[in-house]
Amino acid sequence: MQKILLIGNPNVGKSVIFSRLTGVDVIASNYPGTTVEFTKGYMKIGKEKIEVIDVPGTYSLEVTSKAEEVAVEMLKQGSSIVINVIDSTNLERNLNLTLQLLKRDIPVIVALNFWDETKHRGISIDVAELEKILGVPVVAICGRTGEGINNLVNRLHEAKSKTFEFKEDEKWHEIGNIITHVQKLSHRHHTFLDRLTEISIRPLTGIPFALIILYLTFKTVRFIGEGLTSLFDPFFNNYYLLFISKIVTNIFPVKFLQDLLLGTTPKVMESFGLLTTGFYIPFVVVLPYIFSFYLVLSVLEDIGYLPRIAVLLDVALHKIGVHGYTAIPILLGFGCKVPGMLATRILETEREKIIATALILMIAPCMPQTAMIVGLVGHYGSKYLILIFLILFFIAIVNGFILNKILKGETPELFVEIPPYRIPYIPTLIKKLWIRLKAFFMEAVPLIILGVFIVGILDVLEITNFIANILGNPIVSILGLPKETISVMILGFLRKDVSIALLTPFNLNIKQLIIACVFLVLYLPCIATFFTLLKELGVKNTLKIIFIMLFTATFVAILLNLIL
C-alpha cells in the first residue's frame, strides 16, 4: 500500500479527515469548493509510510469544472486505495459517487462522516447492513473530533474493489433499495439553525440580514485591527526602537549601514530603515488587520454563511457577467488576491474567470494594502476612506459591465449546494486562522522587508532621485502627484502595502492621497498575484488583465485629478 486518495462530494469534510490522517494542516471550511487543488501528505501505519492525497470534491466522475477535473485525473493516475468520504446526513445523494467508484478497479473503503449530526437530524443508518450490501468496509466517523479515525485506519487493508454490480440506468433504483434497507428517518422539530436558514435565504429577510452581517463584519475588522495597532504601536516606539537603535549604533559604527538599518529620520514611517519601517509595516500596521479579517472570515466560513451571499447576489452579479458564486472568491480577495483567484476554479468558463479575476483585483485593495490606507488616510476622517472604497467599487462594477459586453459567451446559471449552518468548531477555526497567519509570516513579511530594503538602498544611493528626474514628469502633469512617487509605482509591484507606505514621506494633501491610493490599488497586480495569474489564466489573458488595470488606473486617476 503506497497511495491513498480521499474522494467524495464537495463539502463532506475531506480536508478535516486529511489533516487528521497526516497531521498536515489544510484549510477547511463549510462550503463546497474550499479545496480546488490536491494536497499531499504522509501517514505512517506501523513502519510503512503512505502517501495520502486530499482531492477536490466531486459529485460524479463526469467532469464539469476544473476542480472536478483534478479529481478524475487523480483517479486515472491510479492509487492503492480510495477512501470514499460520505456525508451521512445526505446518504442517498452521496451513494451515487460511491457506486461509480465501486465500478473502477481500485479498492474502496467508505467513511461515513458527520456521524454526530445524524442523531439530532433524526437519521439512523445501519452501518453493518450498508457494509454487507456494498461489500466494502463502512466506518462511521466524525472528522472534527477524530472519533472513528483509528477504526478507519485499522480497516484500510480490508478495502475491496468491484464488489457491487449494477446497470447504469438502474443506478437510482439500486440506491433507493439500499436506502430503504439501511436508513430510517424519524420526525424532528425545527431547530434554531433551521429558522436561521430560512431567514437568511428568503430575500425579504435575507437582504437586511446580509446588510447587518456586512456592517458587523466591517465594524469588527476595524475595531480589532485598530485596537491591536494601538496596542502594538506604543510598544514599538517606546521599547523596540530605542533598543534596536542602541544595538545597531554600537555594533555598526558605519553611517551607511546605520542609515540602511535604521533609516535617516527618527519617524518610523518615513525612515525606511530595514529594522525600523521594515518591521513596523508588517507587524504593527498590517498584522492586526490580517488577524482581524481572517478571524471574522473564518467564523463566517465555518458557520456556512458565504453561499447564502452567493444566492442573494446572483441577480446583481449576472449583470456583470458572472454568477453568484463568484461572491466567494471576491470575499476571499478582500484578504489576499491569491487565494481569491485560486477560488475562481469553481467557475466553469474562461470568460467567467477573466471577468471574476478583474473584479477580484479591482473591487477593493487586499487586506495589507487596506491596513496601510486606513493608517495613512484614516486620520483625515472616515469619509475619505469610504470615498476611496466607493470609487474602487464603482470602477470594478463599471469594468464588469464593459467586459460582460465585450467578451463573447453566456454566463452559466447558478447551481450550487447550500451547506447547513454549523456551529464553528473552535480548534479547527484556530488552526485555519493560524494557517493563514503563517502564510503571511512566511510569504508576505520577507517580501515587505525586502521591499523596504530596496527602497532604502535606492534612497541611500540616490537612485530614486535619478529615476524621478527622468520619468517623473508625466506623473506631475497628469496625476498631480510629486515626481518622486514614480519610485513608489515601480516598487509597488513587489508589495502593495509597501507602495502605500512609501507615500508617507511625501506629505501629500488629501486629494493627492485619494488619487495615489486609487491608482496604487488598480494599476498593477503585486508580484505574487502576477504569478498566480500566469498559472491560472496563461500569458495572453494575464497581459489582457494587466492592460485593463493599467489603463483603468491611469484613466481614473486623470479623471479624479480633474474633478476632485
Partner 1 sequence: MDITQMKEGEKGKVIEIQGGRGLVSKLDSLGIRPGVEITKISNQLLYGPVVVQVGNTQVAIGLGMARRVIVEHK
Q: List residues near partner 1 by CB under 8 A.
A: 59-60, 62, 64, 89-90, 92-93, 96, 121, 123, 172, 197-198, 201-203, 206, 307, 310-312, 314-315, 323-324, 412-418, 420
Nearest distance, CB of residue 179 and partner 1, angstroms: 9
Nearest distance, CB of residue 322 and partner 1, angstroms: 12
Nearest distance, CB of residue 218 and partner 1, angstroms: 24
| C-beta of 11 vs 552, nearer to partner 1 | 11
| C-beta of 64 vs 249, nearer to partner 1 | 64
Report the alpha-carbon distance of residue 411 to residue 349 in Å, rounded. 8
Report the alpha-carbon distance of residue 392 to residue 397 in Å, rounded. 9
Question: Which residues touch 85 (CB under 8 Å, ≥6 apart)?
Answer: 6, 7, 8, 12, 13, 14, 17, 111, 113
Nearest distance, CB of residue 168 and partner 1, angstroms: 11
Q: Are 153 and 52 in contact, with CB atoms under 8 Å apart?
A: no
Nearest distance, CB of residue 9 and partner 1, angstroms: 9
Q: Are 549 and 525 in contact, with CB atoms under 8 Å apart?
A: yes
Residue 557's alpha-carbon distances to 390, 457, 472, in angstroms, are 14, 29, 16
DSSP 40: E
| C-beta of 274 vs 300, nearer to partner 1 | 300
Nearest distance, CB of residue 369 and partner 1, angstroms: 32
| C-beta of 100 vs 292, nearer to partner 1 | 100
Residue 256 three-state SS? helix
| C-beta of 32 vs 278, nearer to partner 1 | 32
Q: Are 3 and 83 in contact, with CB atoms under 8 Å apart?
A: no
Nearest distance, CB of residue 314 and partner 1, angstroms: 5
Nearest distance, CB of residue 113 and partner 1, angstroms: 14
Q: CA torsion sign, 239 to 240 to 242 to 243?
A: positive
Question: Which residues touch 296 (CB under 8 Å, ≥6 apart)?
Answer: 217, 220, 221
Q: Cell triple for residue 438?
A: 503563517
| C-beta of 169 vs 462, nearer to partner 1 | 169
Nearest distance, CB of residue 125 and partner 1, angstroms: 12
Question: Of 235, 327, 339, nearest to 294 (Cα)?
Answer: 339
Report the alpha-carbon distance of residue 335 to residue 290 in Å, rounded. 7
| C-beta of 195 vs 511, nearer to partner 1 | 195
Nearest distance, CB of residue 398 and partner 1, angstroms: 20
Q: How far is CA 408 from the centre of its chain?
A: 28
Report the alpha-carbon distance of residue 7 to residue 109 in Å, rounded. 10
| C-beta of 157 vs 181, nearer to partner 1 | 181
The β-bridge relationship of strands 123-125 and 183-185 is: antiparallel
Report the alpha-carbon distance of residue 514 to residue 388 in Å, rounded. 6
Question: Of 454, 549, 564, 448, nearest to 513 (Cα)?
Answer: 564
Q: Cell triple for residue 199?
A: 431567514
Report the alpha-carbon distance of residue 301 to residue 213 in Å, rounded. 13
Question: Of 316, 318, 319, 338, nearest to 329 (Cα)?
Answer: 338
Q: How is the beta sheet containing 39-45 ordered, strand by strand? A: 39-45, 48-54, 3-8, 81-87, 108-113, 138-140
Nearest distance, CB of residue 345 and partner 1, angstroms: 18
| C-beta of 61 vs 546, nearer to partner 1 | 61
Report the alpha-carbon distance of residue 42 to residue 117 in Å, rounded. 29
Residue 348 three-state SS? coil
Nearest distance, CB of residue 97 and partner 1, angstroms: 9
| C-beta of 138 vs 414, nearer to partner 1 | 414
| C-beta of 25 vs 117, nearer to partner 1 | 117
Nearest distance, CB of residue 158 and partner 1, angstroms: 29
| C-beta of 32 vs 480, nearer to partner 1 | 32
| C-beta of 48 vs 413, nearer to partner 1 | 413
Report the alpha-carbon distance of residue 522 to residue 549 in Å, rounded. 6
Residue 6 three-state SS? strand
